Amino acid sequence: MSLIILTSAHRLRSIFRLQRIQGHMMSSQAGSEVLFEKRGNAGVITLNRPKALNALNLTMIRHIYPQLKKWDKDSETDIVIIKGAGEKAFCAGGDIRAVTEAGKANDSLAQDFFREEYILNNTIGTYQKPYVALIDGITMGGGVGLSVHGRFRVATEKTLFAMPETGIGLFPDVGGGYFLPRLQGKLGLFLALTGFRLKGRDVQKVGVATHFVQSEKIASLEKALVDLKSPSISDVAQLLDSYQEQSSLDAEKPFVLQEQTKAIDRLFSAGSVEEIMENLKKDGSAFALKQTEILAKMSPTSLKLTFRQIQEGARMSLQEVLVMEYRLSQACMRGHDFYEGVRAVLIDKDQSPKWKPSTLTEVSEQAVEECFSSLGERDLKL
């Protein structure tokens, strides 16, 4: 009898030890690049690559997705919080270098990364439980995808938001075609084409963030969120509202584009990118000329793809947008400009990409059309 008990106890200890090792392996497999904690009834995700500004790679995506699914079903998890480690960034984007290398080598990572990232974006966009992204720091590209589709996005004075993809031969993906055209007037199209950067309170004023809370209050806010007992969506909203009310920093500052908003609506209301360029040149104001200069540096192909993406996305669901964007991502992988843009901006850093085609007029309607066409069996399935 006692021998059986002892053997069982020994076996249990072995099982626990094995579980501990497996648990450790799971966290160290991602090189601890993403951390998961259960604090009370809150699931907390920390993007943990501070030296790489928490850039999102495929390993991280493959850890976050199943964890979100698990917490969604778990009756003891009421809320999910996502944040970035370090002082500088929430998440500065996707791990573009790895994708570039994979695309050049015809490696499946170039398909898998976008497919799995977009599936994750959709999971966040359809999440049933309160999902709170603390976007305290740089939030661009892939970092926008991890936050903007969630119910709550909390910006601070350190938040720096941009979708700078047209400058590297890509397009504002991760559901950019869904949230950008839904911003006020033509602001979304303007941000998409120019990569204009918004900071601090402006990220909330434009509607990318739902709340603004001073950075020094974020730790206390996180604790308050964790301490909520079975919170409803409105409980979380109330708590975030109360923290926002205590944050008076920059409250009096006008929106950075306030004086240009009417001009943006007028100049960017056009049937094509060429028309926008014409409008800007004709207008001749300092603001318009500056935008002409900026757009002239972007990939002409990317500008045309982005223009159509934003137009079409305005009438689509998030799921339809992600299917469209997956087609575009694979077109960019087959093309020239993405590799050249990454070389010029991230690798050689000479900032002078040689786009092909090099002018808007050389980018044919047919070439654009092909980028939007179905991939058949290889289309994104949500």
Catalytic amino acids? 94, 142, 165, 173
Q: How many distinct helices (H) and strands (E) make up the chain?
A: 17, 10
Which of 331-354 are b and which e, b meaning 16 or more Cβ less than 10 Å from the residue's Cβ? Answer: bbbebbbbbbbbbbbeeeeeeebe
Rounded to 10 deg, the angle between the 286-297 and 273-283 helix axes is 140
Residues in the chain: 382
- Phi/psi at 93 (5° precision): 140, -170
Of the candidates 99, 108, 111, 173, which has an alpha carbon nearest to the alpha carbon of residue 140? 173
Tokens of 38: 């259960």
- In 3D space, the residue among 253, 249, 251, 254 whose CA is nearest the CA of residue 218 turns out to be 249
Whole-angstrom CA distances from 356 to 1, 167, 299, 341, 353 are 79, 13, 8, 11, 9
What are the distances in angstroms from CA 332 to CA 27, 100, 118, 302? 33, 10, 16, 9
Strand order in the sheet with 198-199: 89-91, 138-140, 160-162, 198-199
